[in-house]
Amino acid sequence: MVKHWSLRPTDALRADGLRIADLDTSGTPGFDGDKQKGQQLLAERATVLSGLQEKLFANGRTGDSRNVLLVLQGMDTAGKGGIVRHVIGSVDPQGVDHASFGVPTEEEQQHHYLWRIRKALPRAGQIGVFDRSHYEDVLVVRVHNLVPPEVWEPRYDEINAFERELVEQGTTLVKVAMFVSLDEQKNRLMERLDRPDKYWKFNPADIDERDYWPAYQEAYQVMLDRTSTEIAPWHVIPADRKWFSRLSVTELLIDALERQKLDWPPAEFDIEEQKRRLIEA
């Protein structure tokens, strides 16, 4: 059992059967400690994550095709950026393939919605991070009727098939949906208006989106119900407490990497011979 967790984080946070409407967004499911314990543990676990990531990278350099893809979804202010900065920020940047997905560009609109996603997939040995993802095509698109239901409806099955293909090619998917309460979102948006160092994060349209909160909750629920699969399960992170969401994602990534049972790649040269050469050089 991981220190301070009464359940394995992967089990405690698993989306299966979960109703978002019942979620306590300030909860810390499976974790027994307080904020101080959580922050201490986060620092320890960041070191573990960084070591595992280096092994993944080393294997990628020596022909192993495996990689990890972290998919981050959440409403505005849920803390996706904080995960990138504080969790992914703890590993070697050369081992990270980061991509964020906003409103599709004109060029992207002319292609299938998975076109831009496929282009951004992580290379071998990398930890890929999607800040928003193909799931926007069943979230914002569904909520705002950007295409008719007969177009978005088949996407759930299509996404499952797409992800199966990725898994078969050696990708471990870590799918994370982060949820803050409507009140906590208000606090975080207000903070963006109160602090000059946060103005740049504020978008007036984020306030309009609050009117669509119930529609988003529904779209997120259907997304979890239809695309949390055995090979690519969703995890739901209560995100009112930033330390908890960062610790949770760290644990999920560690679990994904540990399941790969990576070793350091063996030397592709005769070690003794190379030592002799070096001594004589």
Binding site for ligand ADP (CB under 6 A): 76, 101-104, 132, 136-137, 140-141, 146
Strand order in the sheet with 96-100: 96-100, 127-131, 67-74, 171-179, 234-238
Tally Cβ neighbours within 10 Å of residue 35. 12
Q: Which is nearer to ligand ADP, 211 or 263 (CB)?
A: 211
Residues pairing with 193 in the sheet: none
Please tell me the distance from the alpha carbon of residue 96 to that of residue 131, in angstroms, as a whole number: 13
Which CB sits closer to ligand ADP, 137 or 163? 137
Closest CA to 83 of 120, 130, 36, 125: 130
Residue nearest to ligand ADP (CB): 102
Minimum Å distance from CB 109 to ligand ADP?
A: 9
Nearest residue to 33 (alpha-carbon basis) of 3, 64, 9:
3
Task: State the nearest-atom distance from the C-beta of 104 to ligand ADP, in Å.
Answer: 5
As a whole number of angstroms, the distance between CA 198 and CA 259 comes to: 38
Residue type at 129 in one-letter notation: V
Comparison of 101 and 244: residue with beta carbon closer to ligand ADP:
101
In total, the chain counts a number of residues equal to: 281
| Helix boundaries (H) for 62-181 | 80-86, 106-109, 115-119, 140-143, 149-152, 155-168
State in angstroms the smallest separation of the CB of 99 from ligand ADP. 12
Q: Which is nearer to ligand ADP, 99 or 146 (CB)?
A: 146
Rounded to the nearest whole angstrom, what is the least distance from the CB of residue 32 to ligand ADP in the complex? 32
| Least distance to ligand ADP, CB of residue 174, Å | 19
CB of 102 to ligand ADP, least distance (A): 3
CB nearer to ligand ADP: pick between 32 and 157: 157
Using alpha carbons, select from 128, 131, 164 the residue that is nearest to residue 53.
128
Among residues 86, 120, 81, which one has the least CA distance to residue 203?
81
Q: Which is nearer to ligand ADP, 64 or 206 (CB)?
A: 206
- Give yes or no for a contact between 245 and 237, defined as CB atoms under 8 angstroms apart: yes
Q: Tell me whether residue 46 or residue 138 sits nearer to ligand ADP (CB atom).
A: 138
CB of 13 to ligand ADP, least distance (A): 22
